[in-house]
Structure 1
Amino acid sequence: MKRLKVGRTRAYQLTRRPSFPIPAGTADHMRIWRKADMDAWLTVHRPDAVPEEDAAEGGDNT
């Protein structure tokens, strides 16, 4: 929710979209995603939600 800059319901809706990355796994009944997958999705679908530190670095955290 923090990374997407949305509330719980909207985060749930976004994560159900076919374009959203596949979760890397689960932890304590929560789905988890790889940061690189999230950053790539955010860059394309929600550029306004790309964290400032990532935008300053060009979004490449390799």
Structure 2
Amino acid sequence: MTIGYLMRRLKVSRTRAYQLTRRRNFPVPAGTADHMRIWRKADIDSWLAVHRPDALPEDASGDEGDEADADHP
């Protein structure tokens, strides 16, 4: 997952997302791709569950949740 995933989940700016990634308790990136840090989705979601549970989708199956909401009014 990229910084964009974190931005969408938390509904924050890129600057704020980068600030969060610099916290000591934030997951360590799994690596880099095209000069971007990437994280494991499970690591990000685990961090969110502790620090921002409101940012997790109601459906914890690993889907983004956005498409499912459109199908169910």
TM score, norm. by length of structure 2: 0.68
Distance 2:11 2:19 in 1: 13
RMSD: 1.5
Q: How many residues align?
A: 56
Within the candidate set 9, 12, 30, 1:3 is matched to 9
Number of the residue aligned with 1:25: 31
- Correspondences of 1:1-62 after superposition (within 5 Å): 1-54=7-60, 57=61
Structure 2: runs of 5 or more not aligned: 1-6, 63-73
Structure 1: runs of 5 or more not aligned: none
Which has the larger Rg? 2
**CA deviation string 1:3-34 (max 9, x = no partner):** 33211011010000000000001111111000
